[in-house]
Amino acid sequence: MAPIKNETVMTDTQPYTVMTVCTGNICRSPMGEIILRHFFNERGLGDQVDVESSGVSDEEWSHPIDPRAVRVLRERGYGDEIPRDHFAHRISREEIERTDLFLPMTASHMRSLLRMLPAGKRAEVHMYRSFDPNLPKPKPGREDQIDLVDPWYGGQHEFEVAIDQIEEVAPYIVDWVAQQL
């Protein structure tokens, strides 16, 4: 089921901001940021949409993107789009205030984000894979059924599964955001 349309009003000077969110901001969320930015650019929306990433934890603060994530991104053709200046960070209050769509990778990330959001925040918070029309809508309290796989404790295969899941859903997210503009 597609999320409800956001009522945010766009201005000429303020791009729509999408924030991918994972635990430490070194694997899933930067992969999602890079892939979504690629898809928005392919659709000609890159000048209207900013894609960023962050974590809900500061345990990986200042670390670069995990080398295994970099490897799989390069293998999929995103090598030129990997930012050289990415340093992992926990989502900031300023980022929370300016973000229009939060895309947590898991139910746990979503719960953490919701605790951080100020009362009345109008940003949309939807799990990344909730945009996949081929997945059944999870029952309340069972949102973990659509978690994006955590590759951190695995090997190359887990990173390939994670990037598969990210790429599979990216076009649906781009379609949804395009309707918000």
The range of the structural domain enclosing residue 120 comes to 16-180
Residues contacting residue 53 through CB under 8 Å, at least 6 positions apart = 19, 20, 21, 22, 25, 29, 30, 32, 33
Interval 95-114: pLDDT, tens? 999 999 999 999 999 999 99
Interval 19-58: pLDDT, tens? 999 999 999 999 999 999 999 999 999 999 999 999 999 9
CATH number of the domain where residue 131 is located: 3.40.50.2300
Dist CA 85 CA 59 (whole Å): 18
Read off the pLDDT band of 121 (50, 70, 90): low
Q: Is the model's pLDDT at 120 over the cut of 80?
A: no
Averaged pLDDT score across all residues of the chain:
92
Angle of CA points 74, 32, 161, to nearest 5°: 70
Q: Is the model's pLDDT at 5 over the cut of 70?
A: no
pLDDT value of position 119 = 72
Reference 60, options 94, 34, 24, 7; nearest CA is 24
Residue 52 within a domain:
yes
Instruction: Please report, rounded to a whole number, the percentage of residues in the chain having pLDDT higher than 90.
Output: 86
What total number of domains does the chain contain? 1
Read off the pLDDT band of 118 (50, 70, 90): confident
Residues identified as active-site: 22, 28, 150
Dist CA 90 CA 69 (whole Å): 19
Tokens of 115: 């605790």
Residue 10 within a domain:
no
Dist CA 131 CA 4 (whole Å): 11
